[in-house]
Amino acid sequence: MSNNIFSQLFAPVSPLMKPKIVPNLGNLAAIQRIINTLTYSLSQFEYWIAPTGWLRQWIRINIAILVLGAIPAIVVVPIITYLVMKGIPIMQILIHISHNVLYCIFLLIIIGSVLDCAYTLLKYRTHPLVKIVILILGGTTIVILSYHWFNEYIKYVFYSVKSFLK
């Protein structure tokens, strides 16, 4: 089952069909005309941005990553909060460690998103100046975020180990 979902998620992108207006739009009720008009406008906008269908694939993959990260957080965070409120001291250490791990995962997700956006823009934009600007901005962003967040992460890890050993 999960293999099927995984293969559907990363299936090759199929091109979008050009949006068409409903032939009997004038004969529909007002609310149906509004819905059909909005559907056509959004489909036209999506077709204008990504006629090859890569935008749908990118959104599908990012939602899957969000769900895979959100479900464990929704399950684990209330349990940890309950145990901390009961005053279990070892849980404070575990919470500190899990906070740092989640912080690092969040950083990696942001870096991956920036790299994915830069790759997509570099792939679909052909002007060399655009590519240079995207590479400079993306590289600068990744370096600044990595330095800031990994610097804090390393401090937290050393503090956690130091306080744990005392």
Q: Residues 104, 152: contact at Cβ < 8 Å?
A: no
Report which of 104, 130, 128, 127 is spatially closest to residue 117, judged by C-alpha positions: 130
- Residue 110's pLDDT is 77
Q: Residues 121, 130: contact at Cβ < 8 Å?
A: yes
Mean residue pLDDT across the chain? 76
Question: pLDDT tens digits for 80-111?
Answer: 777 667 766 666 667 777 877 887 777 777 77
- Per-residue pLDDT at 27 exceeds 60: yes
- Residue 52's pLDDT is 86
- Residue 153's pLDDT is 66
pTM of the full structure = 0.42
- Residue 128's pLDDT is 72
Cα–Cα distance for residue pair 63/68, rounded to 1 Å: 9
